[in-house]
Amino acid sequence: MPDPILDIRSLSGGYEPTQVFQDVTLQVAAGESIGIFGPNGHGKTTLLKTLSGLIDPWAGDIFFCNERLNKKGERGSRKWRNFNYDAITRRRMDPKNVARAGLVHVQQGNLLFPELTVEETLSISGTAAMGRKGWSLAEVKELFPRLAERWTHKIRFLSGGERQMVSVSAGLMSAPKLLILDEPTLGLSPKIRQELCDAVLSVRETGLPIILIDQDVAFLEQIIDTLYLFDHGRISGRMSREEMPNHDELMVILFGEHH
Ligand SMILES: Nc1ncnc2c1ncn2[C@@H]1O[C@H](COP(=O)(O)OP(=O)(O)OP(=O)(O)O)[C@@H](O)[C@H]1O
Ligand SMILES: [Mg+2]
């Protein structure tokens, strides 16, 4: 077995003072894509934010391409009311180092600058790549023809689906070695949702490993090799794509017969 690209060991975290997830251990093998499926509010996004260093882990380790991303030491985070320089230097992880290493997180709810145009947004998206080769503007335009039509429009005039396309494009331009997509299809109309799913599938077909969180089981099934069930801040199951049940069966596994 080659070393995994991402190796998460007994990771715990949350928002001080509330712990959200505990003892998460999982690996992503080279070339593999995984899905995480679980109920709303159980901590999936918090786990991903911890992976990308947006919030600090409380315990555990994160290895990416055989490098440990977290510093050892005192629990960092914003536990102190006076958020100051000290608190920053005590942090265990630095999100820009994570992105530069190629672990790229497309956040839930596509957080973009509303006053920038699509072109402006994507023209700065390659900076996280630090010289590594990410997707080019021409390639993301080809992936999302709809964006080419909206090129000079400000983000705030785009639809939710178009914003999601910009977010995914920005991620691809950051030269990911592993791309994290947190609920990319949430709240989209069927047509634009299909466009986005097709695009993610063609990204997958380039061989790029993906961590995908999504509520759409049929979509997950197209993209991932392994599915992790996530329940009350813990991994509660692991199955291969072949073993994956349908949506209703998953609901029974997570909530029991009478949900
Ligand atoms: N910035 C924050 N500060 C404090 N608590 C938060 C913050 N963001 C989320 N939470 C809480 O952490 C818990 C886990 O939320 P999280 O967003 O990680 O869940 P999720 O599984 O991604 O849910 P969803 O399916 O709705 O995206 C929830 O109880 C939520 O209210
Ligand atoms: Mg979430």
- 43 CB under 6 A from ligand 1? yes
Sheet with strand 18-28: strands edge to edge: 18-28, 6-15, 57-64, 67-68
CA-to-CA separations, 173 to 3, 116, 122, 179, in angstroms, rounded: 26, 17, 8, 11
CA gap 173, 166 in Å, rounded: 10
Predicted local confidence at residue 130, as pLDDT:
83
The pLDDT value recorded for residue 258 is 63
CA of 121 to the centre of ligand 2 (A): 24
Among protein residues, the one with the nearest Cα to ligand 1's atom 1 is 15
Q: List domains and CATH numbers for the chain.
A: 6-255 (3.40.50.300)
Using an 8 Å Cβ cutoff, are 142 and 199 in contact?
Answer: no
The residue whose C-alpha atom lies closest to atom 23 belonging to ligand 1 is: 41
Q: Is the CB of residue 41 below 6 angstroms from any atom belonging to ligand 1?
A: yes
Please give the chain's pLDDT, 259 residues, in tens: 678 999 999 999 999 889 999 999 999 999 999 999 999 999 999 999 999 999 999 999 999 999 999 988 666 545 555 555 555 666 788 898 999 999 999 999 878 999 999 999 999 998 888 888 999 999 999 999 999 999 999 999 999 999 999 999 999 999 999 999 999 999 899 999 999 999 999 999 999 999 999 999 999 999 999 999 999 999 999 999 998 888 888 888 888 876 5
What pLDDT, on a 0 to 100 scale, did the predictor assign at position 54? Answer: 92
Which of the listed residues 46, 78, 214, 230 should we mutate to test ligand 1's pocket, taking the one with most ligand atoms within 8 A of CB?
46
Query: Can you give the pLDDT at residue 110?
Result: 79
What CA–CA distance (Å, rounded) separates 180 from 126? 17
Q: Hey, which residues does 229 pair with through a beta bridge?
A: 37, 237
Among 120, 118, 212, 136, which residue's Cα sits nearest to residue 173? 136
C-beta of 33 in contact with ligand 1 (< 6 A) = no
Looking at ligand 1, which residue's alpha carbon is closest to its atom 9?
Answer: 46
Distance between CA atoms of residues 174 and 155, nearest Å: 19
Residue type, 197: C
pLDDT tens column, 222-250: 999 999 999 999 999 999 999 888 888 88
User: Which atom, in ligand 1's list, is nearest to the CA of 215?
Assistant: 25
Alpha carbons 173 and 190: distance in angstroms, whole number: 26
The per-residue pLDDT for 147 is 95
pLDDT of residue 88: 62
Q: What pLDDT was estimated at residue 144?
A: 97
Q: Is the CB of 15 under 6 A from ligand 1?
A: yes
pLDDT of residue 250: 83
Q: What is the model's pLDDT at position 97?
A: 92
The closest-lying atom of ligand 1 relative to the alpha carbon of residue 46 is 18
Task: Compute, in angstroms, the gap from residue 40 CA to the centroid of ligand 2.
Answer: 7
Pocket perturbation via mutation, ligand 1, pick of 44, 52, 79, 228 by most ligand atoms within 8 A of CB? 44
Give the three-state DSSP class for 211. strand
Q: Are residues 68 and 49 in contact, defined by beta-carbon separation less than 8 angstroms?
A: no
What global pTM score does this model have? 0.92
Residue 49, ligand 1, Cβ within 6 A: no
What is the 183 CA–ligand 1 centroid distance (Å)? Answer: 13
The answer to whether 182 and 108 have CB atoms below 8 angstroms apart is yes
* Residue 88: exposure state from Cβ atoms within 10 A (0-12, 13-18, ≥19): exposed
The rounded distance, in Å, linking the Cα atoms of 126 and 143 is 16
